Amino acid sequence: MLRRPTIKDVAQRAGCGIATVSRVLNGQGSSSEQTRSKVLAAAEALGFEFNDLGRSLQSNSTRTIGCIVPSLANPVFAEVVQAAQAEANRAGYQLILACSDYDGGLETKAIRTLLAKQVDGLIVTVGDARTSEGLELIRAKRTPCCLVYNTPPDNGPGDGFAAWTVDNRGAADAVAEGFARQGHSCTGFLALEFGRSDRSRERYEGFVAACARLGMAHPVLLEIEEQEGRLLQLLGAMLAEHRGITGIFASNDYLALAAMKAARDLGMQVPADLSIVGFDGISTGLMVEPNLSTVVTDPKAMGRGAAQTVLARLAGLEPPGRPDPAHTFSFRQGGSLGPPSAGKSDGGEAATSPPSNQ
């Protein structure tokens, strides 16, 4: 027989009813030592394991939490997921993961699928909390949900959702101040999935506002279109085009590291010819020379916090308190941020490489 044994098979073999099997194997209710051992023996002999489908259908709970992040390629989300999973497991829940690949369509589809699978809760980073269709679905179904790294807007689908997030604007402010302190004025904001990430947008907007406040030039938006191998070339071309810039704020550390490499390949010195600041605080940033200046966040705490929030709601308990926005990040000054070299700070061009004249 190829069919997996069911509780019925066990009951038959043990010579008892299925309810008895359920009771014994679940350790609930009472049973005589007699039948206990008979059931145990039968289950063992058959290699019986419960089928969660039946159980979940009956109990109206899957003990499962869905998790959706844009990508696992970004170690930040990998950490969020790992931390959330650890927390969920501790509470006897299983995490089901899906990636949206920064694609709104996939995001909606993934949320729909997880909802159909009757996940008990959801931990989600959406592309844009103001417009996400998926969030509408979650709200309609009233499934407990916590956002991660998204800021819930005052209206739109994300409104009213719990969230563990980073104060992107405050962080961008700190970065702008870092640049100002070193005497930079002409800066750029480098982003990869800009327009598909509300985090990126918030960081950019915050940076623009802070630069204005500090009397610096309006930052240039440096948007990278694709990836896959060509990233360094694209970055190189972009840097070559914007020689006037003395400082770059990258929307994540990976991009920042790539920019450092691209600059080096162009014969530029970091930070003398170009200062670079990242975002996230991934550990690799500490392994390069010079160290990466960056905004350090705590993705583990975010993942854990979000999981606890959902878990608490499932258990009918008070959710954990969230950190003060000002403590959701810290600015780490590293070697990649320094004063611009004399020739560059006043908008001139010290490092002329091919011929250029801005």
Partner DNA sequence: GTGAAAGCGCTAACAA
Partner DNA sequence: TTGTTAGCGCTTTCAC
Q: Which residues bind DNA (CB under 7 A)?
A: 3-4, 6-8, 15-20, 22-23, 25-26, 28-32, 34-36, 50-51, 53-55, 57-60
Does residue number 1 form part of the binding site for a second copy (CB under 8 A)? no
Collapsing DSSP to helix, strand or coil, 133 comes out as helix
Does residue number 341 form part of the binding site for a second copy (CB under 8 A)? no
DSSP 8-state secondary structure symbol assigned to residue 5: P
CA distances from 118 to 11, 23, 276 (A): 29, 25, 45
Q: Which residues pair with 65 in a beta bridge?
A: 95, 121
**Minimum distance between the CB of residue 304 and a second copy, rounded to whole angstroms?**
14
**Minimum distance between the CB of residue 124 and DNA, rounded to whole angstroms?**
23
Binding at 287: pick from DNA, a second copy, none (beta carbon under 5-8 Å per type): a second copy
Q: Residues 141, 169, 201, 322: which binds a second copy (CB under 8 A)? A: 141
Binding at 257: pick from a second copy, DNA, none (beta carbon under 5-8 Å per type): a second copy
Q: Which residues pair with 52 in a beta bridge?
A: none
Which region, judged by CB under 8 A, interacts with a second copy, from 32-40, 95-103, 214-222, 326-334?
95-103
* Residue 96 dihedral angles phi and psi, to the nearest 5°: -110, 120
Q: For the window 173-212, what string marks contact with a second copy as x by the rule CB under 8 A?
A: ----------------------------------------
DSSP 8-state secondary structure symbol assigned to residue 45: H
**Minimum distance between the CB of residue 185 and a second copy, rounded to whole angstroms?**
27
With respect to DNA, which residue has the nearer C-beta, 22 or 330? 22
String of DSSP letters for 230-298: -HHHHHHHHHHHTTT--EEEESSHHHHHHHHHHHHHTT--TTTT-EEEEEE--GGGGTSSSPPEEEE--
Collapsing DSSP to helix, strand or coil, 170 comes out as helix
Exposed e or buried b for every residue in 334-352, given b needs 16+ CB within 10 A? bebbbebeeebbeeeeebe
Q: Residues 145, 257, 268, 337: which binds a second copy (CB under 8 A)? A: 257
Q: CB–CB of 248/190 below 8 Å?
A: yes
Binding at 284: pick from DNA, a second copy, none (beta carbon under 5-8 Å per type): a second copy
Residue with tokens 């956002």: 147
Name the pairing type of β-strands 293-296 and 330-332. antiparallel
**Minimum distance between the CB of residue 82 and a second copy, rounded to whole angstroms?**
5
Could you tell me where the DSSP H helices lie in 117-269?
A: 133-141, 168-181, 198-213, 231-241, 253-265
With respect to DNA, which residue has the nearer C-beta, 59 or 269? 59
With respect to a second copy, which residue has the nearer C-beta, 72 or 272? 72
Contacting positions for a second copy (CB under 8 A) = 2, 4, 47, 49-54, 56-57, 62, 64, 71-73, 75, 78-79, 81-82, 85-86, 89, 94-99, 101, 106, 112-113, 115-118, 140-142, 232, 254, 257-258, 260-261, 264, 284, 286-289
